[in-house]
Amino acid sequence: MTERKLFLLPGDGIGPEAMAEVHKLISWMNEQGAGFTTDEGLVGGCAYDAHGQAISEDDMAKAVAADAVLFGAVGGPKWDSVPYEVRPEAGLLRLRKDMELFANLRPAICYPALAASSSLKPEVVEGLDILIVRELTGGVYFGEPKEIIDLGNGQKRGIDTQVYDTYEIERITGVACELAKTRSNKVCSMEKHNVMKSGVLWKEVVSDYHKRNYPDVELSHMLADAGGMQLVRWPKQFDVIVTDNLFGDMLSDVAAMLTGSLGMLPSASLGAPDAKTGKRKALYEPVHGSAPDIAGQQKANPIAMIASFAMCLRYSFEMIEEATRLETAIANVLDKGIRTADIAAAGDSPVSTSQMGDAILEEYKALSA
């Protein structure tokens, strides 16, 4: 039997509650012979409390060695004043950087049952299926210098550096075009070439790389601010959006909310395929944060976490059938009107995190029978 090595990092806030629901699925799939092994580590505030780091060297090594990492969420007011280098988010950023997870896939799908929960009109979001491909290991998140300097005259200066090299833009363009081929074959690249040199290069490299390698994929360009506006005006015009780290962070939150709730959106962060094995390093995480205000109360929506596990089945283990079945299970449960508080309408009585997880597991079992 193939061993499938998962490393779980539930993290802080609602992370552990959401991860518990994935655990139930893994256990059941293992009873059917899926062969997952799981190990668990600490990341974020809980890791800081345990050993003064946002992630330990030991857990970093385990993440690198795993076939896939499942990540919950990090952060909370409790750690607002810890030193910058060991703040909870540093654990996530280190995982992305050290594992070279340059391609972040953030699908925004509007389940029919939830069209009414969106803040936009149902006809604008119904049937929405777009994919944001966010560059994840470059740009202003990691560029140097990154510092606050004392100017000595009572003033300080905060500096972040936006920097992109050709190869970074080319490889993310490649991922976006490859994925577009499996969907509606359209890529829209977003940057701000009207004010940023990195935007000028971004646009140029995307165009060249596309022309040389993917002439059959339909490519368009949009300024990122206009892209944000178009995303809330008529999102269905998009298929795949490719953009840099910071714009991708913002645009994916916008896209997430189109679908009804941040609690619905999964993501996959992938590295380059290994030259020998063809396997990619990978981390799967919900787009939502740790939601400390509702943590520990069984109010969180576990769907983004469970859908992230579905992406893991698809991209890390080629378990395409199982992935699709799990996504169908989520859609069916929503069709039945089962709702956590974040997606409940007036008059619905919301279910708990674990009730939602149980409902999805039962539906998954039924679909597997």
Task: Determine which one of 141, 164, 315, 364 is catalytic.
Answer: 141
CB 277 to ligand IPM: min, Å: 27
Binding mask 246-265 for ligand IPM (x = CB under 6 A): ---x----------------
90 touches ligand IPM (CB under 6 A): no
CB 138 to ligand IPM: min, Å: 12
CB neighbour burial string for 73-97, b if at least 16 within 10 angstroms, e if fewer: bbbbeebeebeeebbbebbbbbbbe
Cα-Cα-Cα-Cα dihedral sign, residues 297, 298, 300, 305: positive
Q: Is 39 a catalytic residue?
A: no
Task: Determine which one of 59, 67, 244, 249 is catalytic.
Answer: 249
Task: Determine which one of 192, 203, 281, 299 is catalytic.
Answer: 192
Q: Is 80 a catalytic residue?
A: no
Q: Which of residues 92-131 bind ligand IPM (CB under 6 A)?
A: 92
Cα–Cα distance, 306 to 300 (Å, whole number): 12
Cα–Cα distance, 152 to 219 (Å, whole number): 49
Count the site residues for ligand IPM by CB under 6 A. 3
Q: Is 253 a catalytic residue?
A: yes
Q: Is 49 a catalytic residue?
A: no
CB 136 to Mg ion: min, Å: 11
Task: Determine which one of 97, 225, 236, 365 is catalytic.
Answer: 225
Beta strands, E only, the chain: 4-11, 36-40, 68-73, 103-109, 129-135, 147-150, 156-159, 186-191, 218-223, 240-243, 266-273, 280-286
State which residue has the least CB distance to ligand IPM. Answer: 89
Q: Which of residues 292-311 bind ligand IPM (CB under 6 A)?
A: none
Binding interface with Mg ion (CB under 5 A): 249
In residues, how long is the chain? 369
CB 269 within 8 A of CB 282: yes
89 binds, among ligand IPM, Mg ion, none (CB under 5 to 8 A by kind): ligand IPM
92 binds, among ligand IPM, Mg ion, none (CB under 5 to 8 A by kind): ligand IPM
Cα–Cα distance, 14 to 67 (Å, whole number): 24
Q: Which of residues 273-292 bind ligand IPM (CB under 6 A)?
A: none
CB 201 to Mg ion: min, Å: 24
Backbone angles phi, psi at 36, to 5 degrees: -80, 135
Cα–Cα distance, 154 to 327 (Å, whole number): 56
Q: Which of residues 135-194 bind ligand IPM (CB under 6 A)?
A: none
Q: Is 214 a catalytic residue?
A: no
Dihedral of CA atoms 246, 234, 286, 248 in degrees, nearest 10, equals -10
322 binds, among Mg ion, ligand IPM, none (CB under 5 to 8 A by kind): none
Cα–Cα distance, 290 to 195 (Å, whole number): 34
Helix (H, G, I), strand (E, B) or coil at 202: helix
12 or 342: CB nearest ligand IPM: 12
**Measured CA distances, 140 to 71, 204, 226, 245 (Å):** 23, 19, 20, 7
89 touches ligand IPM (CB under 6 A): yes
Task: Determine which one of 39, 129, 253, 358 is catalytic.
Answer: 253
By CB under 6 A, name the binding residues for ligand IPM.
Answer: 89, 92, 249
Which residues are known catalytic residues? Answer: 141, 192, 225, 249, 253
